[in-house]
Structure 1
Amino acid sequence: MAAFGTPVPTLSWTSHARIVRNPASSYPRMMATDRFAPNPSDTKEGPIVLADISGYTTFVATTELEHSRRVVAMLLEAMIESQQGRLEAGQVAGDAVVFVGVGLDPAFLSWIDSMYVAFHRMARDLAGRHDCGCRACGLVTTLTMKSLAHYGRWNLLRIGPSAQVHGSDAIVPHRLAKNSVPSNEYLLVTPTLAERLSPTDRERFAWREENAAEFGTMQIGYYDLGTLRDPRPT
């Protein structure tokens, strides 16, 4: 160990943090970590999909805490696993998953359809359990899901073990979550995503104007996912 007053030798620092010398002192000081420095290679362009459980608030408010937690977790897992890595689960928050991808695959709509089918298959399986008489399992089929899809630029903001989909384009689906679509189980697409769909795929959608707050009014397309299952809930 250097004696007191002896200049500290030059340090080698291999982590994300940087060591710099204070001009007023012979001792180094540590600057804030630079692991959040801009890196263009981290930014991707592709679909950003907010997949949201409809009926979540009422469900959680009227069911047992531990049972509802398990039910919601299994539904979210079913949604994620349905993608088989085709869309990445960039962020999980409460009743929703934000999926991201790079480029728009021609099979994109079928991926969303399969997520919806997987959600309701899991809900039926949970409702059919005879070893659990809780309200959460009894009411799980009152839940459904909707997806809101935008196409734009995104990157992942990682803080410790958590991740968040970051960027102005990542905000757009959230701004459209409150809308006038006459359904609680649908796929909604913005113009930037719709223009990348084939003419045949675009024919599936009805069109209307919606307000996206600071992003202005936009012409969105939507179709009802409920036609993919039978019978539909009452």
Structure 2
Amino acid sequence: MNEDHRGTIFIVDISGYSKFVTETENEAGSLIVCSLLESIIDANRLSFNISEIEGDAILFYRHGSAFPVKEILSQFELMLEAFKNRLKTFKESFPQTSFLSIKLVVHYGVIGRFAVGSYSKLFGQAVVEAHRLLKNGIDTHTYALITKEYFNEQRQNDFMLPDEATEVCELYDVDRLCYTYFPFNTGPLPLYAQDLNLGQTGT
């Protein structure tokens, strides 16, 4: 049965994955990636649903209203911290993991869903747009990208962008897409998770 609902698409993608795969034996590499993805899932304090794991990325989604942008940044910060902590356990034996990091794409729109046997798949224009945005012109590997559509839906309209945030519009094959990105590897940013105490929130 097909279902259409408005909601949030939240994709966490491992940066440097292709290079890592070419430099790591399959069995060890798969175990490392599995552990890193689990660290991201374990830090999912906003209780997003998981649609699927796409190799080096996790496609999360949530129907309903959009969280304030500050909560989205807090959630990413928690996932990034969990990812880095897990990464430390591999760096000595696998130095090629040192360049791995994560990035985030957040979009809002109509999320379609259909079943194929026992599998449930997301579909629709918003889902395609979110995946296109993973291939952007941002020149850093650790960031949160939040689209204009998400900003228009979120409940905290008075959110002040930090100086590090950059607003961009790019032309894709699907349309012209506008977003704001927040770099997380150019020095310390405000501790959103600390502000919101999400670290103490249950999953």
Question: Given the two structures, how large is their TM-score scaled by the length of structure 1?
Answer: 0.70
| Equivalent position of 1:104 in the other structure | 66
Tell me the distance in 1 between the aligned counterparts of 2:38 and 2:114: 22
| Equivalent position of 1:183 in the other structure | 140
Structure whose alpha-carbon radius of gyration is higher: 1
Does 114-123 or 70-79 show the bigger shift?
114-123
Q: Are the equivalent residues in 2 in contact too, given 1:127–1:138 (CA < 8 A)?
A: yes
Over the aligned positions, Cα root-mean-square deviation in angstroms equals: 2.1
Structure 2 matches for 1:24-173, cutoff 5 A?
A: 36=1, 38=2, 42-84=3-45, 86-102=47-63, 103-106=65-68, 107-127=71-91, 133=93, 137-173=94-130
Unaligned runs of 5+ in 2: 190-203
| Equivalent position of 1:224 in the other structure | 183
Aligned-pair CA distance for 1:228: 5.5
Aligned-pair CA distance for 1:163: 3.7
Q: Are the equivalent residues in 1 in contact too, given 2:151–2:157 (CA < 8 A)?
A: no
Superimposed CA distance per residue, residues 36-87 of structure 1 (whole angstroms, 9 cap, x where no aligned partner): 4x4xxx3322210121111111100111100000000111111111114621
Question: Given the two structures, how large is their TM-score scaled by the length of structure 2?
Answer: 0.80
Tell me the distance in 2 between the aligned counterparts of 1:217 and 1:202: 24
Aligned-pair CA distance for 1:161: 4.8
Name the amino acid aligned to 2:136. Answer: N
Change (3 A) 1:212 1:144: same
Name the amino acid aligned to 1:119. Answer: F
Does 151-160 or 78-87 show the bigger shift?
151-160
Is residue 2:171 matched to residue 1:211?
Answer: yes
Provide the secondary structure at the position in 2 that maps to 1:178.
coil
Change (3 A) 1:190 1:85: closer
